[in-house]
Amino acid sequence: MTFVTTPGTQSLMMTSVTIKDFYAIMSVHKWTYTNLVNYYHKENIFKLSKVLDSVKKDLQKVADIEFGFNIKCKMEVQELLNHWK
C-alpha cells in the first residue's frame, strides 16, 4: 500500500494499487507504459503526473534486487526505465 497526499490538503489518502497487483493480473510481456498508466489511473483518481510518479517509483522498486521479482521481470522493468522520459 502507498500513501499519497492530495494537492492542497494535509490529509493522507491510501491507495491499494501497486506493481505487485499489476503483475498478478498482467503477464510481463504486456508490461507497457500504456498498460501500466491505464491500470494505475483507473484504480486512482489522481492527476496524470501523480500516476506517472507512482508508476516510476514502483518500477524502480521492481528493478531493485531485494524486491522479490524474478530476473525476467527485472529485465523488462529495466528496459522500461531506460526509456522513461
- What is the chain's pLDDT, residue by residue, as a tens digit (85 residues)? 333 444 443 333 334 567 777 777 888 778 888 888 888 777 776 788 888 888 888 888 888 877 777 888 888 888 989 988 7
What integer pLDDT is reported at residue 82 of this predicted model?
92
> What does the alpha-carbon distance between residue 80 and residue 42 come to, in Å, rounded to a whole number?
20
pLDDT for 2 equals 39
Predicted local distance difference test score (pLDDT) of residue 1: 35
Instruction: Give the Å distances, CA to CA, from 22 to 25, 74, 78.
Output: 6, 14, 16
C-alpha neighbours within 13 Å on the C-beta side of residue 35? 13
**What is the model's pTM?**
0.62
Q: Which domain holds residue 75?
A: 2-82
Domain count, the chain: 1
